[in-house]
Copies of this chain bind each other. A is one copy, B any other.
Amino acid sequence: MSLVRDRAHANVRALQDHICDAMSAVDGTPFLETTWERPGGGGGWSRLIEDGVVFEKAGVNVSAVHGTLPPAAAKAMSTRRDLPIAENAPFYATGISLVLHPRNPFAPTVHANYRYFELGDGEVWWFGGGADLTPAYLFEEDASHFHRVHKAACDAHDPAFYPRFKRWCDDYFHIRHRGERRGVGGIFFDDLDDRDPDALIAFHRSCGEAFVAAYQPIIERRRDTPFEEHHRRWQQIRRGRYVEFNLVWDRGTVFGLKTDARTKSVLMSLPLTARWEVEDDPEPGTPEARLVDVLREPVDWVPLDPK
């Protein structure tokens, strides 16, 4: 019987193949794989399409790293999990992390991440993850579909998951200095350790498989939408917001940049291009303003089951 860490890792590797196969077929372009090693232990498999047909930038990374926990990491985790975590404790972490930035301004950016973390000889461990959609233009049917598919993946494991993880996602992807969420949400969870690890690996697998079912119909129907220069400009402004969230608020990105993580992998999430205009508030009543409205006040995109 293999270790939990090995099963969790095999799972994210299989998800990488599954998702890359599907997205590579959408783009008509293969992913280029770079492998890297971490000086302290472990390494990763980074897969990238840059300047593709459909995707301006698409990164799908898996890593599996181990070693001794840097003091800053131990401190951050202790605070978050409210349990003492020793500096220099042995740790193991594996996960898949992906961000797809399409070229067409009507096609939304999407992000997903599924990760497993272990301390010591496995006496402390947890799972985290989620997937969220970031359109520049709102299509309610896209947001509802993305949520519906992820809700079904959650419901198969625990009906309490989706309502909790949907709200968690809205709370987490909050660009506080703008008073806006990054996008129309999805699911987000962390520190899950309240059930059998294999049940959580299976949950990871369901979510990861749901990703393709959730995103592929959306990218297929938006990828070739005709657009004008002003649509592209608004997309670039929203990409600027994406950069702001990731570099200022995203725990994993900021932590990665301030410790010894591999910068190229951490920053693969950034869009190929972005734009900052000082006065960028859209005119009321426009499609651009409609997006900002739902970013200011998150919406329940699928009805929650009655309690």
Contact = CB atoms under 8 A, between A and B. Distances in A.
A50 B273 contact: no
A149 interface: no
Interface in A252-298: 254, 256-258, 263-264, 266-268, 270-279
Contacts of A270: 240, 276
* Copies of the chain in the assembly: 2
Nearest to A246: B247
Given A247-B248, A258-B177, A275 B272 contact: yes
A277 B243 contact: no
A244 interface: yes
Contacts of A50: 277-278
Contacts of A273: 236, 273-276
A178 interface: yes
Interface residues of A, number: 33
B257 A278 contact: no
A133 interface: no
A54 interface: no
A59 interface: yes
13 contacts: A176-B257, A177-B256, A177-B263, A244-B247, A244-B267, A247-B247, A264-B279, A267-B276, A271-B276, A272-B276, A273-B273, A273-B275, A273-B276
Given A177-B256, A273-B275, A274-B275, 6 more contacts: A243-B243, A264-B279, A272-B277, A273-B273, A273-B274, A273-B276
